[in-house]
Amino acid sequence: MKESEIIFGLRAVIEAIRAGKPIDRVLLKYGLQGALYHELMTEIKNHRIPFQIVPLERIELVTRKNHQGVVAWLSLIEYQSISNILPSVFESGEDPLIIVLDGISDVRNFGAIVRSASCMGAHAIIIPEKGSARITADAIKTSAGALHSFPVCREKSLTGLVKFLKESGLKVVCAEADGSVPVTNAKLTGPVALVMGSEDKGISRDIKSMADTIVKIPLKGSIASLNVSVAAGIVLYEIVRQRSSVITQ
């Protein structure tokens, strides 16, 4: 981790937040007390910045300078709000295409999905505050720079987020290897939220229970599964293909 990507010290982190610096996350040492600590926690909560309380040893893996028990990572992008994006998409006359990433932690997979999403005309990607790939220089490089302009939203609860998308009129489509419907047989027109899960655990049970359909990509070769970024690209292309077909009919 480059020193230029982190801020450490109670007052330094407070002032960075107040100055509008995009903060990715904050680590706080167990047992911190005092007025400055409470001041920092107020800023963190008011700005909905993800934080974690950890042992001192975890912080000193990042820096051994005078951190005062606090380390913050600067974000390389500015996160957006899906509640601001959806109305503008509907008002433009388009059907929203939103991608929800449930537990994808590999930065290159994440960057590749953002690249495909941008190319396929999706409107935003949503990730959880915890358990998701950090947006690093590698992620930006793999996205071919798309992360500098493509909207990324970060939500505390993906379950609550998916419920919000359903209430907003989006069809929730989960993509899994053991899905019940081949992707080419599913109706993927109209407003869609596409959910992709991690390669090791897949999509969480709570989110799958809210799905309108669970699709799969039929495979013919000897390899049993696709890389998640490749799978996302295939499903996104099928969504765009079906939308284009409706327009031309």
pLDDT, residue 246, reads 61
pLDDT, tens only, 4-35:
488 899 999 999 999 988 888 899 999 899 89
Is 50 exceeded by the pLDDT of residue 3? no
pTM of the predicted model as reported, rounded to 2 decimal places: 0.85
3-state secondary structure of 184: helix
The architecture of the domain spanning 82-248 is: 3-Layer(aba) Sandwich (3.40)
pLDDT, tens only, 174-196:
999 888 899 999 999 999 999 99
Where would I find the H helices in the chain?
A: 10-18, 35-46, 56-60, 82-91, 107-119, 137-142, 158-167, 205-208, 228-248
Question: What is the C-alpha separation between 90 and 98, in angstroms, rounded?
Answer: 12
Phi-psi region of 98 (alpha: psi -120 to 50; beta: other; left: phi over 0): beta
**What are the sequence ranges of the domains in the chain?**
3-74, 82-248
Question: What is the C-alpha separation between 68 and 44, in angstroms, rounded?
Answer: 16
pLDDT, residue 112, reads 94
Report which DSSP code applies to 202.
B
Token pair 């801020």 in the structure block, residue? 7
pLDDT, tens only, 125-184:
999 988 888 887 888 888 888 988 999 999 989 999 999 999 999 999 999 988 889 999
What phi, psi does 62 have (nearest 5°)?
-90, -50
CATH 3.30.1330.30 given to domain 3-74: yes
Report which DSSP code applies to 96.
P
